[in-house]
Chain A
Amino acid sequence: DAGITQSPRHKVTETGTPVTLRCHQTENHRYMYWYRQDPGHGLRLIHYSYGVKDTDKGEVSDGYSVSRSKTEDFLLTLESATSSQTSVYFCAIGRTADNEQFFGPGTRLTVL
């Protein structure tokens, strides 16, 4: 998976609790992305980063925040998890904005 790891790989949590997902890359790529994958929707962009401390919203950013304090790590936080955030979350990296994106193995999150 192109030097991308995601942790945890599986998580079950309760409504209202905070959750942080981690994406770690060893490729030194500038761009990092968080997507969620739901049946019938393909992949939808939550947030992305174009450098350390440079982040912006995607198309489904409500209820999520991100942080990138160093090149290799991109964190996705659900401040107060809801059942609608039950999904599979994928991190992706890209060398430039115009190049292909490489995806991590995913994190399956269940919010009860």
Chain B
Amino acid sequence: GENVEQHPSTLSVQEGDSAVIKCTYSDSASNYFPWYKQELGKGPQLIIDIRSNVGEKKDQRIAVTLNKTAKHFSLHITETQPEDSAVYFCAARRGTGGFKTIFGAGTRLFVKA
């Protein structure tokens, strides 16, 4: 069945460094790729998303890249800050019958001050 693999499961960086999280999806009909940030005790919150007709998208310190041929997409956080510490989830959703969003298993990011 459809699957999204996410790596690494845990990532520790020094404040100010960059963090990269990578995901691979299996369903070639996927055309929407959101990234969520989840803080302890809260629900996931969308931080950035990208559609399949775009290769890269940036929003301040956050960027996402998509390689449709290789079926992988990545989240890049630059100049990390302690408040970036959280669990990050990638997801992939197909554009037709588009109710089904498949999530990766999550990456726990620690930013050390």
A contact set with B: CB distance below 8 Å: 1, 4, 31, 33, 40-45, 48, 50, 56, 58-59, 90, 92, 97-98, 100-106
Query: Which residues from chain B sit less than 8 Å from chain A, CB to CB?
Result: 1, 4, 6, 32, 34, 36, 41-46, 49, 89, 91, 95, 98-101, 103-106
Chain B residue contacts of A33, Cβ below 8 A: 99
Which of A1, A59, A105 is within 8 Å of B100, CB to CB? A59
Q: How far is the CB of B25 from chain A (nearest CB, A)?
A: 13
Q: Which of A31, A58, A92, A97 has the most CB of B within 10 A?
A: A97
A97 touches B99 (CB 8 A): yes
- Indicate whether A103 sits within 8 Å of B95 (C-beta atoms), given known contacts A40-B105, A42-B106, A45-B100: no
B21 → A minimal CB distance (Å): 13
Q: How far is the CB of B78 from chain A (nearest CB, A)?
A: 23
> Are B34 and A105 neighbours in the complex by a CB distance under 8 Å?
no
Interchain Cβ contacts under 8 Å between A and B, 20 examples: A1-B43, A4-B43, A42-B104, A42-B106, A43-B44, A43-B89, A90-B43, A90-B44, A97-B98, A97-B99, A98-B95, A98-B98, A100-B46, A101-B34, A101-B46, A103-B44, A105-B41, A105-B43, A106-B41, A106-B43
